[in-house]
Amino acid sequence: MCDDWRDLLNRNIFPFVEYEGYEDKYPTKNIALISRERAEELRYVSGVLYGAFQRAVSVCQRCGENFLVDLEIPPQLIPYLTKENPLHLSTWLSRFDYVLDKQGNLHMVEINADTPCAVVEAYYGNTVACTHFEQENPNEGEYDRLCQWLNEIFLASHPGVSISTGRFHRKHPFLFACFHDYDEDLTTTRFLMNAMRQNTMAVEADDAICFTSFYDLAVRNDGSILLPDGRTANAIYRLHPLEILIEETTPEGDTLGKDFMDGYLHDRFIMFNPPEAIIMQSKAFQALVWALNQQSGAKRVFTAEEADIISRYMLPSYFARDFTPDKMPPGSDWIKKPIWGREGAGIEVLDRQGVKLVKDVDAEDIVRRDSKDDMYQLFVDQQECEADTDSGRLKGYETLSCFMLGKNPSALYARFSPEQIAGTEAYWLPLGLQ
């Protein structure tokens, strides 16, 4: 039997077990156990919140630019956010993140709606860990569900059909793209591409569903995405944040991001995730949901079930303009989050006397859009846990996550961080069922 379960991870599928610049391996040495009730709670709450968030996105789309400006959506993106997509869902693959308070209660702190990562950990790596530790896998069967969902997305792209064989052909492929020199993005993109290939009837799946680096793509004058071999894409999965993509330019100064989005708008291809996922991705979206949930009577947006789950599992959240110290109950702390922050960068913890803590992150290593404003959210003093790492047994905090395949809850995932505000120092903590 292998002494270190991490040696069992296939480096071709999961190459960043060892991460350049970090002394410790990314996965913990141990596995954490959660109860079946907790796993069911994570999935139930995530499913209800997804429905509520979908309603809130519809409010933004109907009510014009004012709502979107409040969310700090780049103005250049706004024209593309009301186009109907073939699955009628704002995000097709997303991930809710939760923390536990001292009493063990779950609180949803974030949704990764545009470009969620940790897919390989949840849908592949967790199975390896559970097999080694002989624990029941909370994600049993979820990889098959992922493949089925990706097949639905493939079919929704209306791939061409060969008259001679009746099967999907390769003339206009479903394209998976990222910048290939970032290992985590490349691994996630290829993993999802291979999962989509599992259930397709393509004559040559390698060509009908393919990968190309963003470095090697071009946008034609008609908005089509041009591959190096001369073909144009029918659909694209892009692992590149939309709020950054929209401002990309060519070395000559041409508006590459806008040309790309114009191609989407004019039906040259479909996009996975669709552009409106950016509405949920904005940190300020939670402030909007919290505000909408305070409405009653004819103005009520959410169902009774959704309103109850928002009140119980979301945290009081406010736009900067609406937040004042009198909203802070005595003894409470609040988090000030940049609207486009990532990996904890720029986060401050506040009390009535001012700043208590600033998250120390090397922001130069994080691809993110500069934020003009912040949102404020009640800070959760979290429950401590322990994990075994290459640096020994550490005390820290656990973030639990639930992936969504469209509106359906799916695989669970966890991170362990020595700090309450998790950042790039966080470890992946595999999960088993008690």
Q: Residue 218 sits in a domain of what CATH number?
A: 3.40.50
Residue 248 lies in a domain: yes
| Peptide bond connecting 273 to the previous residue in cis, omega within 30 degrees of 0 | yes
Give residue-wise pLDDT tens across range 38-64: 999 999 999 999 999 999 999 999 987
Shared domain check, 264 and 123: no
- What DSSP string describes 280-328? HHSTTHHHHHHHHTT--GGG--S-HHHHHHHHHHB--EEEGGG--GGGS
Residue 102 lies in a domain: yes
Task: Report, as an integer, the average pLDDT of 164-192.
Answer: 87
User: What integer pLDDT is reported at residue 162 of this predicted model?
Assistant: 59
Give residue-wise pLDDT tens across range 273-284: 999 999 999 999
* d(C-alpha 129, C-alpha 86), whole Å: 37
Shared domain check, 343 and 316: yes
* Cβ–Cβ < 8 Å for 386, 260: no
* pLDDT beyond 80 at 160: no
pLDDT band at 334 (very low <50, low <70, confident <90, very high): confident
Shared domain check, 241 and 117: no
Which of 277, 310, 337 is where one domain is finished? Answer: 277
Which of 277, 294, 326 is where one domain is finished? Answer: 277
pLDDT band at 373 (very low <50, low <70, confident <90, very high): confident
Shared domain check, 302 and 247: no
User: What integer pLDDT is reported at residue 171 of this predicted model?
Assistant: 84
Q: Domain count of the chain?
A: 2
Q: What is the pTM of this model?
A: 0.93
Which of 224, 254, 277 is where one domain is finished? Answer: 277
Shared domain check, 141 and 126: no
Task: Report, as an integer, the average pLDDT of 399-406.
Answer: 98
* pLDDT beyond 60 at 190: yes
Domain residue limits at 330: 5-49+92-131+280-433
Which among 94, 91, 90 is positioned nearest to 58, based on CA atoms?
Answer: 90
Shared domain check, 240 and 296: no
Give the rounded percent of residues in the chain with a pLDDT score beyond 70: 90
Shared domain check, 251 and 337: no
Task: Report, as an integer, the average pLDDT of 243-265.
Answer: 88
Shared domain check, 395 and 377: yes
Residue 85 lies in a domain: no
